[in-house]
Every structure is written in C-alpha cells, then in structure tokens.
Structure 1
C-alpha cells in the first residue's frame, strides 16, 4: 500500500513539472473605453433663447459675480465682474457691465462701447522711461532755496543710489501727480537733513526733461516708519519727501509740497 501511494505522488509531481511555463503567465487588461468626464469646453451649452453653442467656455474662468443689488446693471442678464479676473478672457476687466461674457465688451452703463475704450484716468502719473534720463544718469534736479538745497534725482532708493543724491520711489510718478523722493538726513549726503525746518509756503522746484515746476510746502509732519501714504497716486501735482528722524529709528519726516 505504501509503495502504491509513493507511486501516485511521484506521478502527480511529474505531471505538474511537465506543464509549459506559459501556463503561469498572466496579464491585467485595462477596461475598454472608460467613461471619463468630458471637457466642459466642448460640451453643448443650451442658451436661454433655445439655441445651442459649442466650444463655449463654461469653466470658472468665465464665471462672473453678479452686480451689486440696486446698481444700474443689477437686473441685466449677463452682467457682472469676473470671478477669476487674472484668468478671464482679455485679462482683468474694468468695473462696469460685462456684455455676453466678453472681456472686450466691458462698459460702464451710459457710455459708448468702442474697441479701444479705457477707464478714465483719475490720477496723474508719468512713468519713468529711458528718454527721461539725462546723460549723467539722473532724472532731474530738486531745488529748495529755503535750506540752500540743489541736488540731482536718481531712480530707486537703495543705499548705492542715495550715495549719489536724492532717490525716486520707483512706484511713483516722475512728473504728473505725486513724485515721491527720499534721501539721508545725516552724513556726507545729508540732503534732507533740514527739510523738517521748512515752513508752509516755502518753494520747491523740480526740473526734469518734461519741464520745470514750482511747488509750495503744505505740510511738515513726523510719521511712523511704516507710513506709505506719501507713495499713493494723486490727482494733484505734488512732491512728497521722506527722510529719517535723528535718533528716532521708528519715525520719519514727511514733507508735502503742492504745485503752486
């Protein structure tokens, strides 16, 4: 009996080893034609008038925030401002009604739509361009007779710039509107060391390649070092001057002179 069992086991083992190796191979097939979500840019969009359009952007890039309650365009279909203005067609829209969701048709109610419409400028601003530099690399000259000051103006407010003269805050205008300047109040280049002694009505003269303009001092005040109000655009033509307050690291002198 024992010999019979051994013979059967030997036969089974021989049969198993005789199977071809391919019998152990296997594959995992991907499902055919999976149902993924369809891109919204090619979906058919059914409009209110019963029609249908294809290839119309219905993503959040074209989504609009409705106008405010009670505004002139509050009840006008298809008006509002873009939810994501940086991604919207044509870039960030100006305030006003948006007609048919198109960034090229942004209007303010009551105005005429034109291809080159621009929002009206509310402040003066003159950008620094290459043609406004003098051959010496400066942008102009600042003169304040009351403190016997005549100094050249250079772009930027870094330490290397302030070693040469008065620095111009790059984000501000260089002619129309608010021209903001800064420099040291002590040391070799203490050009603004005495601006806090100026009196209301003292004259300030700015000369650039765009011309010469005279201003009169309207305010002299001590402000916190974090005060940046003097860098804001202005509808007035003015010069705003900043410098440190001696022995008061947290404060600054701020002098404003408005065109006479």
Structure 2
C-alpha cells in the first residue's frame, strides 16, 4: 500500500511539472511590414506647347491620308486628303435627307474624292393597320381594264382569302413600295386566270383607304414556285400579281407594274 501511494504521488508531481499556465495559450501577431511600392509616375503638370497654338486640333478629324510613296508631296507636312472629311465643318461628302442622317464615304486613296459621294435610297413600305380595312373586311379593290377585272383584295393568301377574292401577301406593303397580290387562275374564282396575257404598257389600278394608284405593266414572266424575290421591298411604287400556271405546279405567272 505504501509503495502504491509513493508511485501515485510521483505521477502527480510529474504532471504538475509539465502543466503550462493559461497565459501560455495567448498569441500575438504583428502586421507585415509596409509594402515596397515604386514612386507614382502620374504627372498632373499642365504642359502648354509653345511652337504651335494650344488649341490646334490634333484628333482623328484632322488626320490626313498619307501621299503616295515617292510622290513630290510624300515628305510635305499636312499634305494629302483628310481621312475623315465629314468631320470638318461644312465638308460632308455625301448626304441623305430622307431620314435626317448623314452618310459619308471616305475619299479614295488615289487622291480624288470627286464623284465618290455615295448615295442611298430607302425602300418603301406601308404596313397593314386596322384603319385600312373597309367595312366589308377587304383592304382594297384591284382593277385591270384590259381584262375587265374588278376584284376586292383581302389580307392573306390562304384558301379563305382567295375564296372571297384576291389575297394580299401579308409580308409586303399595302401602299408605298411593292404591293404583292395573289389570285386563282382557274375555278369559279379564277380572277387571275388571264394575267399572263397582259401586254407591256397595260394599266392596273389599285384603290385602298389611302387613295387610288395607276400602274403600268413592265414585266410579264414565268417564275419558279420557290422564287420569292418578287415579294421583296422596293424603292419605287410597284404592284406584283402572282398566280399558278395551269398544269405546271413548279411555276407561277408573275406580272409587275410600275406607278405611272
């Protein structure tokens, strides 16, 4: 028993010797040293050039196209044409007044910009709106005096529209530009059955809520069934009539007329 107590006491002494005070668990850290940064290179000094006026324009709108290599003016200061002449006051080389904007083409590097002013003519288009319908549900009346034809034009080219009269291609204009209209060439409603017999110069008349317009035929042709170019918008007022070709499903008759 005495030996056991002696051993226990010795163990307690060893544990007491290895124990650490609570203050040993506290840690302190110092921040890192200040970074070694280079000196700032920005310079707020305002410099004024003395050899030329301070307000000389040195931006893009004052740039010149360099003269041809080896030419007499190749080493002459400020020789050549302006790179952007439209940015020089009163020097626009081409204008479009229809939209109020300005279109400018840079001059040719050959040294002359005369005649290269550029031009742009916008296409015409009038969308179908509710106020353009007549009380009978149609958009207008098409007349071809040579054929004795007078038919109402309805929106769309589906079976229902063509059953009632001629059909207006919904993707095309209804007044300004290219007005495209389809019709049957056979059956009870074969309104367009004879359009391929029209001659150049014949008259086509279209009346809508926007007025009456007379057109003069300038083209009578047979086109492929997949040819939709005749429906493209136009820069002039034209009318396009399209119908099937009897017994030739791969083709269509197309008549186009221009406003008189």
* Counterparts of 2:233 and 2:173, CA distance in 1: 8
In the alignment, what sits opposite 1:151?
Answer: 151
Asked if 1:240 is matched to 2:248, the reply is: no
State the match for 2:179 in structure 1. 179
2:62 maps to none
**Partners in 1 of 2:104 and 2:174 — Cα distance?**
34
Cα distance, 1:110 vs structure 2: 5.3
3-state DSSP of counterpart to 1:192: coil
Q: How many Å apart are 1:121 and its aligned residue?
A: 6.7
Q: Distance in 1 between matches of 2:103 and 2:129?
A: 35
- Assess if the C-alpha contact under 8 Å between 2:121 and 2:235 holds in 1: no
Task: Report the Cα distance in structure 1 between the residues aligned to 2:121 and 2:154, rounded to whole angstroms.
Answer: 27
Query: What are the equivalent positions in structure 2 for 1:48-63 lying under 5 Å apart?
Result: none
> Which residue of the partner structure matches residue 194 of structure 2?
194
The answer on 1:125 being equivalent to 2:125 is: yes
Alpha-carbon separation, structure 2, partners of 1:209 and 1:195: 25
**How far apart are the structure 2 equivalents of 1:228 and 1:110?**
33
**Where is the strand percentage greater, Structure 1 or Structure 2?**
1
Superposition TM-score, scaled by structure 2 size:
0.55
- How far the C-alpha of 1:166 sits from its partner, in A, is 0.4
Task: Report how many aligned residue pairs link the two structures.
Answer: 152
* Matches for 1:80-229 after TM superposition, within 5 Å: 122-229=122-229
Q: Match for residue 17 of structure 1?
A: none
Give 1:232 shift.
Answer: 0.1
TM-score normalised by L of structure 1: 0.55
**Structure with bigger gyration radius:** 2
Structure 1 ranges of 4+ moved more than 2 A? 107-111
1:61-110 per-residue CA deviation (whole Å, 9 max, x = no partner) reads xxxxxxxxx9x78xxxxxxxxxxxxxxxxxxxxxxxxxxxxxxxxx8775
The offset of 1:236, in angstroms, is 1.1
Structure 2 residue aligned with 1:116: none
C-alpha RMSD of the superposition: 2.5
Paired residue secondary structure (1:243): strand
Measured against aligned partners, the alpha-carbon deviations of 1:127-172 in whole angstroms (never above 9, x if no partner) come to 0000000000000000001111000000000011100000000010
Task: Give the secondary-structure state (helix, strand or coil) at the position aligned to 1:163.
Answer: helix
Take 1:155 and 1:176, find their aligned partners in 2: how far apart are those partners?
Answer: 16
1:164-196 residue CA offsets vs partner (Å, 9 max, x unmatched): 000000010000000000010000000000000
